[in-house]
């Protein structure tokens, strides 16, 4: 196996009864990379995270973590920590006691387990001695992250870690994950929040009905051959409207404020056509105040790649079974 990879999965299939959760899925995650896992509900994201944490085992395929094949035992591979479906906490215990209980279960010396350090990393020092039954969802998510950090994992696996976080909490968690990756820790996270995925992840895997429909750098999703809708705000909206209407490859949509002659224009265009319009606007003395996709490239690609699959009936056969019966 490539020594620079933290995860290498090939042909992973997992069924629960006649429901195919993962169908011939591949995944590669480099060491020190934050890798996003996105997909509609029921796409197989939680199942894949569970495989990495040793909570379930694949029916077929091969999974390696840091070069070591993951066997059939229900246990997390060495150096892996995280949570799925939210962190499990004891509501009657304080934040500090929850972390100490986890340390004790792992056989660590709770006096030197770094409890205060991990609580400080996630910004929970001030509530370390408060019972967790009163914690908000965001505080519970941060405590779950603290628990995962306790053993200084080489691979961190997180399921919807940004749920319930306020802007300050999200910024704090972003900083923690970015620092960990910079120090060499690999992170795999699932999220429905495309802004978080785009802000943190260098690569992303998109799942739909158990199959990988895209895996690679985010830049590949922002292809210059795909038309996107863009918001355009300028110093002279009427002049910008006339130039956009004349420009090849530019399609004017209804203004976002719903009024003819509104200040914000919505344009559908490929990148090359949009670039040409911007050059012409500047040449004619029209200043740009805002130019941004209405829907992010990741979200647009997500919808393109998953909508037609999720509209189909649920899978009842794996890809391999379909090939077999089709012969």
Q: What is the pLDDT of residue 309?
A: 60
Q: What is the pLDDT of residue 258?
A: 46
Domains of the chain in sequence order: 5-220 (3.40.50.300), 228-297 (3.30.70)
Q: Name the pLDDT band for 297 (thresholds 50, 70, 90).
A: confident
Residue 311 scores a pLDDT above 60: no
Residue 12 scores a pLDDT above 90: yes
Of 68-72, 114-118, 222-226, 260-264, which range is least confident? 222-226
Q: How far apart are CA 3 and CA 28, in angstroms?
A: 12
Q: What is the pLDDT of residue 106?
A: 73
Determine the Cα angle at 45 with ends 41 and 50, to 5°: 130
Residue-wise pLDDT tens digits, 170-220: 999 999 999 999 999 999 999 988 889 999 999 999 999 999 999 999 878
Nearest to 76 by CA among 173, 191, 154: 154
Sign of CA dihedral 191, 218, 14, 63: negative
Q: How far apart are CA 12 and CA 60, in angstroms?
A: 6
Which residue would you say has higher pLDDT here, 275 or 70? Answer: 275
Cβ proximity of 227 and 268 under 8 Å: yes
Look at residue 157 and give its three-state secondary structure.
strand
CB burial of residue 44 (10 Å; 0-12, 13-18, 19+): buried
Tokens standing for 113? 């387990």
């Amino acid at each position: 196996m490539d020594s620079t990879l933290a995860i290498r999965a090939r042909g992973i299939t997992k069924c629960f009864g006649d429901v195919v959760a993962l169908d011939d899925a591949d995944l590669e995650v480099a060491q020190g990379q934050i890798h996003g896992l996105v997909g509609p509900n029921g796409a197989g994201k939680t199942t894949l995270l569970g495989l990495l944490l040793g909570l379930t085992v694949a029916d077929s395929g091969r999974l390696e973590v840091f070069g070591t094949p993951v066997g059939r035992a229900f246990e997390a591979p060495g150096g892996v920590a995280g949570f799925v479906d939210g962190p499990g906490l004891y509501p009657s215990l304080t934040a500090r006691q929850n972390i100490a209980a986890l340390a004790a279960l792992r056989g660590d010396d709770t006096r030197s387990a770094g409890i205060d350090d991990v609580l400080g990393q996630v910004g929970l020092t001030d509530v370390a001695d408060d019972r967790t039954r009163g914690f908000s969802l965001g505080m519970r998510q941060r405590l779950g992250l603290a628990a995962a950090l306790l053993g200084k994992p080489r691979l961190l696996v997180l399921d919807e870690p940004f749920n319930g976080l306020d802007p300050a909490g999200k910024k704090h968690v972003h900083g923690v994950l970015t620092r960990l990756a910079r120090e060499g820790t690999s992170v795999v996270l699932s999220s429905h929040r495309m802004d978080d995925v785009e802000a943190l992840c260098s690569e992303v895997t998109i799942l739909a009905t158990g199959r990988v429909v895209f895996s690679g750098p985010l830049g590949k999703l922002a292809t210059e051959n795909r038309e996107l809708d863009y918001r355009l705000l300028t110093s002279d909206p009427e002049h910008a409207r006339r130039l956009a209407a004349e420009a090849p490859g530019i399609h004017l949509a209804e203004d976002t404020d719903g009024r003819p002659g509104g200040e914000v224009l919505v344009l559908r265009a490929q990148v090359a056509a949009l670039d040409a319009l911007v050059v012409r606007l500047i040449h004619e003395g029209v200043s740009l105040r805002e130019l941004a996709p209405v829907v992010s490239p990741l979200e647009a690609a997500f919808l393109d790649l998953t909508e037609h699959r999720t509209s189909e009936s649920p899978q009842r056969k794996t890809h391999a079974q379909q090939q077999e019966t089709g012969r």
